[in-house]
Each structure stands twice: as C-alpha cells, then as structure tokens.
Chains A and B, each alone.
Chain A
Amino acid sequence: SQTIHQWPATLVQPVGSPLSLECTVEGTSNPNLYWYRQAAGRGLQLLFYSVGIGQISSEVPQNLSASRPQDRQFILSSKKLLLSDSGFYLCAWSSFVGTDYGYTFGSGTRLTVV
C-alpha cells in the first residue's frame, strides 16, 4: 500500500535561518507531489507541485523553493525564513489512474518562525 512520510512534525526556527522539510512516498512510482501551506484559520494554499523528477511548478511567489531529487522525494526549502512563513505545511501525492483520483496527505509539519 502507498504511504507518505513527512518530517519533522514540529519545527521552531529563528528568522533568517534556513529551512528544509522532507517528504517521501512509498508504494507508488512517478507520483504527482505537492506542498501546501495552511495558515491558522485559513484553507490550504498550494505552494508547489511536481509531476516528475526535477519538474517543479510554483504557484505562489515567495522565499520558498522546492526540489524533487528523486522520484518519490519532495523537499521544501528556504534560505532565510520570514515570520510570515509560520504555518502548517502539508505534503501530498496524487494519482490520476482511472477513478483513483485524489490526494493522500502527510501528517504535516508545524513550523513556527520566531
């Protein structure tokens, strides 16, 4: 069965520090991968999505970046965090095979920038 792992679960980082969040998927090949951010009391904002190794599409201009060095690995990064980067970050993968259309989400990373 397919599983998705996301870590760390919580992170407290000072302003200006770098960021690296990692997400890996097991049990499937060539998944579509996504990073979402969820701010307090708000819905999900799509940050990046990837349809293959090295292919990254950015939805929102920001000081974050994403990379997909391997088929089932998706990394969210920042060189210098801002206070506004605080939030709940969710990784997800999706399949579009037949009616198997839907997202499977990781358990999320709570990022607090101080």
Chain B
Amino acid sequence: AQSVTQPDIHITVSEGASLELRCNYSYGATPYLFWYVQSPGQGLQLLLKYFSGDTLVQGIKGFEAEFKRSQSSFNLRKPSVHWSDAAEYFCAVGAGGFKTIFGAGTRLFVKA
C-alpha cells in the first residue's frame, strides 16, 4: 500500500542555518511527489512538486527538494532558514487516480 513517512515530528533550527526535512514514500510506480506548507490556522500551500525529469526541484520561498528513487526519498531543503519559515510541512505522494496521501507532517521551529 502507498504510504508517506515523515520521521521527524518537529525540528528546531536557528535562523540562518540550513534545513533538511525528510520524507520517505512507498509507492509501486514513479510517484508524483509534493511538499506543502501550513501556517497555523491556515490551509496548505504548495511549495513544489515532482513529476519527472530533473530530480532536483526548485520551489517557492527558496525551497528545493531532491527525488532519490533508490532511497524512496524526497527531502526538502533550504540553505538559510528565516523566522517566517516556522510552520508545519507536509510531504505527499500522488497515489494514482484522484487521491493524494499525506505524511503526518513536520513542525519547524526557528530560533533567533
């Protein structure tokens, strides 16, 4: 069955430090992969998505993610975190048809 695992429930980084949020998926075919961000009390906003082609995907707000088929991973990165990046981040996989499976989320805290 398809699944998405975000092993870190929460992460704390210092402002200006680099960030990597982990995501592992289980899916039988080449997946559609996504990262979304959710600010408190808000809906989810799409950061970036991968369908095919270049495995390094650039998104909004300076984020990027790399698809590694051999590791079934799609980790999100940002070279320098800003305080406004504090939010919850969701990895998701398009599971075919009309469904998308979301991970449980990783809450990012940014300290000054």
Contacts and interface: CB of A to CB of B under 8 A. Distances in A.
Interface of A: 6, 32, 42-44, 46, 49, 51, 88, 90, 92, 94, 96, 99, 101-108, 110
Interface residues of B, number: 20
Contacts of B98: 32, 49, 51, 94, 96
A103 B104 contact: no
Contacts, number: 50
Interface of B: 32, 34, 36, 41-46, 49, 51, 90, 94, 98-100, 102-105
A34 B43 CA distance: 13
Given A49-B98, A101-B32, A106 B43 contact: yes
A38 B41 CA distance: 11
Contacts of A43: 90, 102-105
Nearest to A105: B43
Given A102-B34, A102-B49, A103-B100, A44 B43 contact: no
A46 B99 contact: yes
Contact of B102 (A44, A102, A104, A108): A44
A44 B90 contact: yes
A107 B38 CA distance: 10
A104 B42 contact: no
A42 B104 contact: yes
